[in-house]
Structures are given as C-alpha cells and as structure tokens.
Amino acid sequence: MSAKPARASKSASKRRPIEIGDLFALRLPGSPALAPDGRSCVVTVQRCDTEKNRYHSNLYLVDTESGDARAITEGDHSDSQPLWSPDGRALAFVSSRSETAQVHVMPVGIGDSRKLTKLPAGSISLQQWSPDGSKLLFIYQPRPEEDTKEAAEERKRAHRSGPTRVIESSLYRLDGHGFLSTVPPQLYAVDVDSGECERLTRGKAYVGSAAWSPDGKSLAWTVVRDVEYKPHDVRICVRPVNGGQVRTLEAPTGPKDSLLWTPDSRRLLYLGYEEDKDSWGTRNAHVWMVKATGKGEARDIMPELDQTCSPYTLCDCQGSPGLRAFTLAPEGNAVDVLVANEGATQLLCCRLDGGKPRVLLGGHAHTYGFTEEVGGKVIVTTQSPVEPGLVQAVSTASGGRPKTLWNPNGDLVSTLDLSRPQEMWVECAETGRKVQGWVLKPPGFVPSRKYPMILQIHGGPHTQYGAGFFHEFQWLAGKGYVILFTNPVGSQGRGEAYMQGLRRKWGEADFPELMAFVNALLAEGYVDEKRMGVAGGSYGGYMTNWVVGNTTRFAAACTQRCVSNLVSFAGNSDFPMRPDAYFPGNAWAEPEGLWHMSPMRFMDRVRTPLLIIHAEGDLRCNVEQSEQVFSALRMLRRKTKFVRFPREASHGLSRGGPPDLRELRLEAIGDWFDEHLAQARRRPPRKTTK
C-alpha cells in the first residue's frame, strides 16, 4: 500500500468542525456560459432556503479578468440553463418565476427579463440560439394533465379522489419527476421578438438533443422511436430549416447526445458509443462524427482513449452541469471534453482527425461544467474535497494551474477545519487488481490513537469516488471517524475493461477488493478493528447488504435506498430490466442468475446491527427493496432500524432532497454510528469508592 501525505490545514486551531447546518449555507455554482467576447461569464448559483424548505437558483455575471461577481436575477425561484445570444447582447434562460417553467430572455445589463413562452406546465431544455439570433431552439414535454396544479385544485373543490392512471408502457415514471406524460418530448422554436412558438417535430418519437447548423439552413435532432424496447436505437435526423424532407443519418446503434455541427455545416458531432444491450454504462462514451449528408460511416474521433467522456465523480453538493458534454475549439478542428480519470475529471482537447489528446486541465479536481473557448481561455466550475465550488479560468495555450475567478463559499470555508483525503492504492491478492481509494482522517488526527472507521461504498455502480466535495464525509470525520472510500472494480476512471469487470458479477467481484482495503488500513495501526462501520446508498446500499451478509467484521452498518432482491427489482424500478442483457436471464422464467446476485439470500447470516434508510418517493430503487431486508431481519430477530422517509424525497435524497429531510437523514446516520462505534462504548470501568 502507498499513501500520499495529507497537507495540514492552515490555522486549523482557529477553525471549527463542519456542521450539518453548513450544508445549507453553501452556494453552489454551475452551468457556466461564456459571453461571445470572452469578457464575462454567467453561472447559475444554487442556494438553500431553510424557512421555505426548498432550493433557489439565480444567475450571476462574473468578470473573467477581475473575478467580480454580481447577481443579475433575483427572487425565490429557479433560473437555469443560461445561453448567450450570438451578438452577446442578450441572455436566454429557463425560469420558474411564473410558477411553471418558461423561456425568458433579458438584455445583459440594461433591462429586466421578458417571458417568451406561455406553455402548460412541463419540462423545458434550452438547446441553442439560431445563428441570426432571431429564434431559440428548445425541447418541451408537458406534465401529465392530471398532475398539474390546476387539476389538483379542481379535484379538491369537487371532493374527488386522486387520478386513475391508464398505463400502457413500462417506462411510465421517472425518479425525481414522477409520472411521465404520454406526449413525448418534442422540438420547438420560439421567436425572440414575438414569442410565437412553433412545434418542429411530431409523432411518438422522443426528441433528445438538437442543434442549428452554423449557416442557418438546417436543423438536426436525435430521436428514439421505440423508447420502451429499443432505448439505445437513437437516430439523428436532419432537415432544412424552412421545411422539406427529413433524412436519417447512418450511425451505429447506441446512445447519442449533445449534438453539435462543425463550422462548415457539413458534419455533426455527438457523444455516444456503439451498444445495443448495455443500459448500465460500462462502455466508454466518446465523441463521434458523421457527415450531415448521411454518406459515409460515423466514426469515433478518439478510439485510442480508454476513458469515458463525462464527469462521473460523486459528491453530495454540486451545482448544475452544462448543457453539452463537449464544445468545439475555435478553429473547428478539435473538441474540448471532460473525461473521468482515476477519481478526477479532466478537460481534454481532442482533434477531429485523431491523435493524442492534449490536457487542458489536469490535476485531482472534479470539474463538472465548462464553456466554449474564447480568447484562449475556458471558464470552468470545479470543486475539490475541501472546496465546494469554484469558478476558474483555464488558459488553453499555456496550461498550468487554473486561475480562480470567484469562490462563493470562501468566507464559510475559511472558518471550517476540513480534512484533505490521502490517496491509497491497494493490490487485492484475490482478484489481482490494484485498487484506488482514499482515507479521510479526523481533524487533529493523532497517529497513536485508535479511531472508529466507516467504509463508504459508492452507488452506480459505474461511477467513481474522488475529488468531489462530500459534506457528509467531512461531517463524519469532524465527529471523530476515519472515512475510507474506494473505487473497486466496476468504477469509472480506470478504463472500459475495469468497468465491465463487474458486469454479471455484482458483489462477488468487488467484495474482496473492499475487504483488501479494510485490511490495508488496519495494518496502518490507527483504526480500531472492533469499531468499524460500513455504509452506502443505491448500489452502495446493495453492497452494504452484501458485506454484512458475508462477514461479521463490522460493528454497525447503514444501507440506504438499497437494492436487495434483483428478481423483484427487475420490474419495480423506473428503468425495467431488459432480459438477458446486463444481467443474466429474466425475472419470470430464468431468475436463477438474478437471485444468485441478490443479497437477500444472505439475510440469515447477518449479525451486524443494520440501519435502513429509504424514501417512499424513490422510483429508481423501490422502497420495497428495503422492506424485504427489514422484514427478514425482524423475523430473524436481528438488530435493525428502518428510517422511512416520505414521498417528498426521491432516490436523490442525500444530494437534492428537501433540506429538512436531508438534515434528518444525517442525524439518523450519525446517531446510529455514535451508538455502535463511538468511544463512549469503550470507556474504562467506573471507579468505585470504598
């Protein structure tokens, strides 16, 4: 095992441990948009309103030289998806200030915003301005009529029950959104002067991404015609702006997103990969290029890059990412793109004609948003384990360290005694793989002491831990726990083969690697072997169930929004499991493989006290997955507690759930581990008086 030494925090004695309330004081920058002249940048900034128990976001204008930042929108609502007009005089964005999300436009610096659209309640995804700045392209999907505010109020006035739903597709709901409309998302254009909206696509196909050609003559968009049975059969359609025949381009079957034209309007770029069955993301997503005429095969412009182009690093507080996963370099002969790399996300420049990518922004940071390159610089939103969110400028010519323009949390962070994780690499003798991980030690760490430890297991499973800011980890470390978090097989950032090493081997492939890390940390001498805990959410909850069913080495565990039984999970997730694809067999005729990988079959072996956390509004991992675990352990007379959150919380409770529920969740976790692992349980015997 090798470990990089942690740097001591400056003036640590004057700082305090992070508290739960600090989570709600953070201001999280995201969605950067650089002005055409490169002199200023707009970012969204999310803040929490604990009194109203919700989040708001407003737009800030940041000077790209001085770093001066000022709010250009205000109010307790959500402003998002900023897009500069081609001439840099106006800004389009989506706002909820009129209760329903609508497209707004505002002159920068000289006036108030103006609402362009008057659409029924639904979701809006801004795509692009037309090259002449007269129109805005967006994708819109209405909310089911029975779920609108007006329909609910009418039912209340009429003393009627909730709506009956007639469902004819297995994809009828989505975690965090609820029930889906039977009207698929379609492409629209709105005239900036008149506000007149035009629907550009029709039919039952789902539109996912769109782009206007630079010459203003053509539109391109992606569609999925059979979203239930062939979700990866994504097609690219092109037609003249003024109408005419729609042509479908030839490209390999697989996901296609973030459509972008080359400057000559002859070719289209998209983010995707070639795959028909794997819906779990074990393939590297790359930038592909295809001729707009449809003549000639699409090709991966970065075939030698064994990394995936997406910021997959996990954290529990992050601003919103940008609209597109990549941007064109000014010359039009290369793209700038984020890639996952060993716990970090790095910004690379990749030429369209191939060749070795050039690193624009490296280092161990989590960059989650970036802009087009203007004037030799790119603006990024990024974070580190001790910085919740920064707006930085990156020189594309000189490289080197980025320049921090704005740190909206600088005053708060300067008061906190945060710990910087130590990176570790451990070789697992059983699998033969070298695995990456990190140790977060309590502030004021004393090597001669024995500390309780919590092993944290990430979800996905094809994501990665690393350079993201984790309030929960820092808070637990501040309470005196050593936090261990790792990237075992299946994680992003280590190449495609590493990700696919977990396919059809859930639990079996990564369990020995997790335990190898635990053993390596125990060998360091500062962890108390009798006071170890394990926790995780989603797939991390699955693995927590697997761990306590296969070892009794942990004194306490916390499984959150878990998967426990893959046979029932196959049909009750918002993404139903496709037969004999990522997983073997199916739930009705060939369930053996699914049951073999289900932690439920180990419940009779569990001896570790287990806290179960799940939200009733979770549509990704249904609450019945935790119900099975709780019922089994109660029947077996094992120590367990079920903290069941209401329908207001979804699968993303720990990252974006209602503030009061996020606070209650952290308190439940802290109390559970304090009860079973805290120093108080190892107090010396009380002295007696004679």
What integer pLDDT is reported at residue 479 of this predicted model? 97
Q: Residue 607 and residue 627: Cα distance in Å, rounded?
A: 18
Q: Is residue 425 part of a domain?
A: no
Q: Residue 361 and residue 48: Cα distance in Å, rounded?
A: 30
Count up the domains in the chain and report the number.
2
Q: Residue 279 forms beta bridges with which residues?
A: none
Q: Is residue 213 part of a domain?
A: no
Residues 474 and 404 in one domain: no
What integer pLDDT is reported at residue 671 of this predicted model? 98
Question: What's CA 400's distance to the chain center, in Å?
Answer: 27
Question: What's CA 534's distance to the chain center, in Å?
Answer: 22
Q: Does the pLDDT of residue 13 top 90, yes or no?
A: no
Residues 537 and 666 in one domain: yes
Q: Residue 49 forms beta bridges with which residues?
A: 54
Residue 303's CB is within 10 A of a number of other CB atoms, namely 10
The DSSP element (H or E) to which 380 belongs, if any, is strand 377-384
Q: What is the pLDDT of residues 61-94, one digit of tens each?
A: 999 999 999 999 999 999 999 999 999 999 999 9
Give the domain-ending residue among 383, 416, 449. Answer: 416
Q: Does the pLDDT of residue 159 top 90, yes or no?
A: yes
Q: Is residue 321 part of a domain?
A: yes
What percent of the chain stands above pLDDT 70?
Answer: 96
Q: What is the CATH number of the domain that holds 374?
A: 2.120.10.30
Give the domain-ending residue among 384, 416, 448. Answer: 416
For the beta sheet containing 28-34, the strands, ordered from the edge strand earlier in sequence to the opposite edge, are 28-34, 40-49, 54-63, 69-71
- The three-state secondary structure class of 677 is helix
What integer pLDDT is reported at residue 310 of this predicted model? 84
Q: Residue 530 and residue 534: Cα distance in Å, rounded?
A: 13
Q: What is the pLDDT of residues 542-598, one digit of tens each?
A: 999 999 999 999 999 999 999 999 999 999 999 889 999 999 999 999 999 999 999
What integer pLDDT is reported at residue 482 of this predicted model? 98
The DSSP element (H or E) to which 422 belongs, if any, is strand 422-427
What is the DSSP secondary structure assignment for residue 147, as one 8-state letter? G
Q: Does the pLDDT of residue 5 top 70, yes or no?
A: no
Residues 513 and 643 in one domain: yes
Q: Cis omega (within 30 of 0) on the bond before 461? A: yes
When pLDDT is averaged across residues 237-261 and rounded to a whole number, the result is: 93
What integer pLDDT is reported at residue 398 of this predicted model? 72
Q: Is residue 24 part of a domain?
A: no
Helices (H), 144-216: 149-157
Residues 381 and 514 in one domain: no
Residue 265's contacts (CB-CB under 8 Å, 6 or more residues apart) are 213, 214, 215, 217, 218, 292
Helices (H), 90-178: 149-157
When pLDDT is averaged across residues 84-109 and rounded to a whole number, the result is: 94
Q: How confident is the model at residue 635 (pLDDT cuts 50, 70, 90)?
A: very high
Residues 403 and 448 in one domain: no
Residues 524 and 668 in one domain: yes
What integer pLDDT is reported at residue 161 of this predicted model? 95
Place of tokens 């609820």: 178
Place of tokens 């979700």: 231
Q: For 234, what's the count of Cα atoms within 13 Å in the CB-facing half-sphere?
A: 23
What integer pLDDT is reported at residue 64 of this predicted model? 97
Phi, psi of 660 (to 5 degrees): -65, -35
Q: Residue 486 and residue 386: Cα distance in Å, rounded?
A: 18
What integer pLDDT is reported at residue 399 of this predicted model? 66
Which stretches does DSSP call E strand in 217-329?
Answer: 218-224, 234-240, 247-248, 256-261, 267-272, 286-291, 299-300, 326-328
CA neighbor of 578 nearest in space, from 258, 226, 286: 226
Write out the residue range of the structural domain in which residue 399 sits: 313-416
Residue 66's contacts (CB-CB under 8 Å, 6 or more residues apart) are none
Q: What is the CATH number of the domain that holds 554?
A: 3.40.50.1820
Residues 448 and 396 in one domain: no
Helices (H), 262-398: none
What integer pLDDT is reported at residue 99 of this predicted model? 82
Q: What is the pLDDT of residues 377-415, one digit of tens each?
A: 999 999 999 999 999 999 988 766 899 999 999 999 999
Q: Residue 558 and residue 666: Cα distance in Å, rounded?
A: 11
| Better-predicted residue by pLDDT, 681 or 673 | 673
Q: Residue 374 and residue 351: Cα distance in Å, rounded?
A: 17
Q: Does the pLDDT of residue 302 top 70, yes or no?
A: yes
Residues 470 and 409 in one domain: no
Q: Does the pLDDT of residue 682 top 60, yes or no?
A: no
Q: Is residue 407 part of a domain?
A: yes
What integer pLDDT is reported at residue 679 of this predicted model? 60
When pLDDT is averaged across residues 203-209 and rounded to a whole number, the result is: 94
Q: Does the pLDDT of residue 458 top 80, yes or no?
A: yes
Q: Residue 626 and residue 623: Cα distance in Å, rounded?
A: 6
Structure token digits, residue 600: 């439920």
Q: Is residue 610 part of a domain?
A: yes
Q: Parallel, antiparallel, or unpaired: how do β-strands 451-457 and 434-440 relate? A: unpaired
Give the domain-ending residue among 416, 451, 485. Answer: 416
Residues 443 and 410 in one domain: no
Q: Residue 258 and residue 128: Cα distance in Å, rounded?
A: 11
When pLDDT is averaged across residues 141-149 and rounded to a whole number, the result is: 92
What percent of the chain stands above pLDDT 90?
Answer: 87
Q: Residue 619 and residue 72: Cα distance in Å, rounded?
A: 36
Residues 456 and 407 in one domain: no
Phi, psi of 593 (to 5 degrees): -65, -40
Residues 395 and 488 in one domain: no
Q: Is residue 179 part of a domain?
A: no
What integer pLDDT is reported at residue 31 of this predicted model? 85
When pLDDT is averaged across residues 477-499 and rounded to a whole number, the result is: 97
The DSSP element (H or E) to which 340 belongs, if any, is strand 334-341
Q: Is residue 660 part of a domain?
A: yes
What integer pLDDT is reported at residue 435 of this predicted model? 97
Q: Does the pLDDT of residue 532 top 70, yes or no?
A: yes
Residues 393 and 511 in one domain: no
> Exposed e or buried b for every residue in 233-243, given b needs 16+ CB within 10 A?
bbbbbbbebee
Q: Does the pLDDT of residue 2 top 60, yes or no?
A: no
The lowest-confidence range among 6-20, 509-523, 674-688 is 674-688
What average pLDDT is seen over the chain?
93
